[in-house]
């Protein structure tokens, strides 16, 4: 198949990680990406694989970039506004943006995944406006998307 006709769909598996909450000394209300894969020794058992979400984010970083600003809107709540830019030659839909809150020590605290409501045009951008938990800083990355197939010319 030619590259322009291949539909690429990347999704991350998102689940609550209770161990992370215990390690941080509290409860984690957000989510963290964990992929589950069969063990090589015993295909009936499964192991957690944290590399898969990182690979999805890296692939998202290859095709998209994000520009954003944050402002406090009320105690405990911030407003993130900005644009997701599509650096690829095909429009994308179902674009999920992972917002990671980071504490003052630089450690991730929680993840929130928000969907960009619009199609992100080829070599274009789409605006977003989300309310998220207040944090000293944030990390944003595209973790899920689907490129639209161009109409076939017959």
Highest mean pLDDT among 18-27, 39-48, 127-136: 127-136
Per-residue pLDDT tens digits for 107-122: 999 999 999 999 999 9
27-31, 99-103, 139-143: segment of lowest average pLDDT: 27-31
pLDDT for 149 equals 83
Domains annotated on the chain, with CATH: 8-147 (2.60.40)
Q: Is the pLDDT of residue 38 over 80?
A: no
Exposure string of 128-142, with b = 16+ CB inside 10 Å and e = fewer, is bebebeebeebebbb
35-39, 53-57, 125-129: segment of lowest average pLDDT: 35-39
């Amino acid at each position: 198949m030619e590259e322009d006709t291949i539909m690429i769909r990347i999704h991350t598996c998102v689940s609550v990680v209770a161990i992370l909450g215990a390690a941080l000394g509290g409860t984690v209300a957000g989510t963290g990406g964990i992929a589950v894969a069969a063990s090589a020794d015993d295909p009936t058992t499964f192991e957690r694989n944290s590399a898969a979400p990182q690979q999805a984010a890296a692939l998202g970083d290859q095709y998209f970039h994000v520009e954003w600003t944050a402002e406090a809107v009320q105690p405990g709540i911030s407003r993130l506004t900005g644009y997701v830019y599509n650096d690829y030659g095909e429009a994308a839909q179902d674009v999920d943006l992972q917002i990671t809150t980071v504490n003052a020590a630089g450690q991730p605290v929680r993840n929130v995944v928000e969907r960009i409501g619009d199609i992100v045009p080829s070599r274009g951008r789409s605006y977003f406006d989300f309310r998220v938990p207040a944090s000293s800083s944030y990390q944003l990355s595209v973790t899920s998307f689907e490129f639209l197939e161009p109409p076939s010319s017959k």
